[in-house]
């Protein structure tokens, strides 16, 4: 895949700009990178706060020639690529299903994949937001979110991170589109995520919520969760949060 970079100072959302470019006929491999987003968005319509130079705001256009049922694996493939990027920066990441990259249980990156109809067929825009600095985090958010600068002694080099990220997205995307690609991406995801098996989680869907233990992935990347009666629920989309073991009532002082 040939990578081309479209650099913009301020944009509403790099995902929206990439979708517009895809509708205008842009090839796969076009990456939109902005210094600031005025309407950055996350999953489920949430806002992704995007102050100038505080994060990497990145979206890439893909035109995958894979079976439609495997499209959700694009998010997992990107998680693998971000994991490898952060590891190359000297960090020890984890991946929380489906799209959160964590450092020591704090979120450092989110991924938002969206499909777009274009005249030359379906395109997928994959947005990646990596926190570079923690400057604009509110004090209470700092407990659940982190940034490259908060984790490393040397400040983040955004250019270097961009180059490493595009290298790994190209690599893992080619693997996903190749022979046995879906199986390979699931097993690479498994090697990088503590959420693959045996993690106690609460799953929140649009109109239900349940608890259970993670039990591997389906072939399309959906999460299997074993609930109290032993049955396995398949989670195609939803929020997953880790449940901590109950240690009894403790005096925390
Ligand atoms: C999430 O964790 O909910 C996903 C967050 C994705 C944020 C990135 S920043 C670059 C791209 N543009 C957007 O508007 N969103 C994604």
Residues 215 and 158 in one domain: no
Direct distance between the N- and C-terminal alpha carbons of the chain, in angstroms, rounded to an integer? 56
Residues 70 and 118 in one domain: yes
Residue owning tokens 């990646």 = 128
Using the mean position of ligand 1's atoms as its centre, give its distance from the Cα of residue 113 in Å: 9
Q: The CATH number of the domain where 226 resides is what?
A: 2.30.30.100
Q: The CATH number of the domain where 55 resides is what?
A: 3.30.930.10
Residues 223 and 187 in one domain: no
Q: Where are the alpha helices (DSSP H) in the chain?
A: 14-23, 73-88, 148-151, 158-177, 181-192
Atom of ligand 1 nearest to the CA of 43: 3
User: With contact defined as beta carbons under 8 Å apart, do 130 and 114 qualify?
Assistant: no
Atom of ligand 1 nearest to the CA of 12: 14
Confidence at residue 249, expressed as pLDDT on a 0 to 100 scale: 55
DSSP state of 244: P
Atom of ligand 1 nearest to the CA of 44: 3
Cis preceding linkage at 33, omega within 30:
no
Confidence at residue 135, expressed as pLDDT on a 0 to 100 scale: 74
Q: Are strands 197-204 and 209-217 parallel, antiparallel or unpaired?
A: antiparallel
Residues 216 and 102 in one domain: no
Residues lining ligand 1, CB < 6 A? 13-15, 37, 40-43, 46, 48, 57-59, 99-100, 110-112, 127-129
Structure tokens at 120: 């030359």
Residues 150 and 37 in one domain: yes
Using the mean position of ligand 1's atoms as its centre, give its distance from the Cα of residue 88 in Å: 22
Residues 70 and 148 in one domain: yes
Atom of ligand 1 nearest to the CA of 100: 2
Residues 217 and 188 in one domain: no
Confidence at residue 213, expressed as pLDDT on a 0 to 100 scale: 96
In sequence order, what are the residues at sequence separation of 6 or more whose Cβ sits closer than 8 angstroms to the Cβ of residue 107? 96, 100, 101, 131, 144, 145, 146
Confidence at residue 20, expressed as pLDDT on a 0 to 100 scale: 98
Using the mean position of ligand 1's atoms as its centre, give its distance from the Cα of residue 48 in Å: 6
Confidence at residue 45, expressed as pLDDT on a 0 to 100 scale: 87
pLDDT in tens, the chain (253 residues): 999 999 999 999 999 999 999 999 999 999 999 999 999 999 888 999 999 999 999 999 999 999 999 999 999 999 999 999 999 999 999 999 998 999 999 999 999 999 999 999 999 999 999 999 987 666 666 679 999 999 999 988 999 999 999 999 999 999 999 999 999 999 999 999 999 999 999 999 988 999 999 999 999 999 999 999 999 999 998 899 999 765 555 555 4
Given CA atoms 186, 167, 31, 22 in this order, what sign does their dihedral have? negative
Confidence at residue 140, expressed as pLDDT on a 0 to 100 scale: 61
Query: Among 192, 208, 235, which residue terminates a domain?
Result: 192
Residues 187 and 212 in one domain: no
Residues 44 and 18 in one domain: yes
Total domains present in the chain: 2
User: With contact defined as beta carbons under 8 Å apart, do 56 and 132 qualify?
Assistant: yes
Using the mean position of ligand 1's atoms as its centre, give its distance from the Cα of residue 39 in Å: 10
Confidence at residue 251, expressed as pLDDT on a 0 to 100 scale: 53
Using the mean position of ligand 1's atoms as its centre, give its distance from the Cα of residue 47 in Å: 8
Structural domain harbouring 227: 197-252
Structure tokens at 11: 């944009």
Residues 43 and 149 in one domain: yes
Confidence at residue 40, expressed as pLDDT on a 0 to 100 scale: 97
């Amino acid at each position: 895949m040939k990578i081309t970079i479209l650099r913009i100072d301020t944009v509403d959302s790099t995902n929206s700009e990439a979708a517009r470019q895809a509708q205008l006929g842009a090839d796969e491999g076009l990456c939109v990178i902005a210094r600031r987003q005025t309407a950055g968005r996350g999953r489920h319509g949430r806002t992704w706060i995007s102050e100038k130079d505080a994060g990497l705001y990145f979206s890439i256009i893909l035109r995958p020639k894979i079976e439609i049922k495997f499209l959700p694996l694009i998010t997992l493939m990107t998680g693998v690529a971000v994991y490898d990027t952060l590891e190359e920066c000297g960090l020890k990441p984890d991946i929380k299903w489906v799209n959160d990259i964590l450092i020591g249980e704090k979120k450092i990156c989110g991924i938002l994949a969206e499909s777009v109809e274009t005249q030359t067929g379906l395109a997928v825009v994959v947005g990646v937001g990596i926190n570079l600095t923690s400057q604009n985090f509110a004090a209470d958010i700092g407990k659940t979110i982190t940034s490259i600068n908060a984790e490393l002694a040397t400040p983040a080099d955004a250019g270097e991170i961009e180059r490493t990220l595009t290298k790994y997205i190209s690599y893992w995307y080619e693997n996903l589109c190749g022979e046995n690609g879906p199986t390979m991406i699931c097993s690479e995801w498994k090697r990088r995520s503590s959420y693959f098996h045996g993690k106690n989680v609460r799953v929140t869907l649009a109109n239900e919520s349940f608890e259970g233990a993670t039990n591997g992935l389906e072939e399309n990347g959906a999460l299997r969760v074993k609930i109290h009666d032993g049955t396995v629920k398949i989670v195609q989309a939803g929020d997953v949060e880790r449940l901590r073991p109950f240690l009894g009532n403790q005096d925390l002082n």
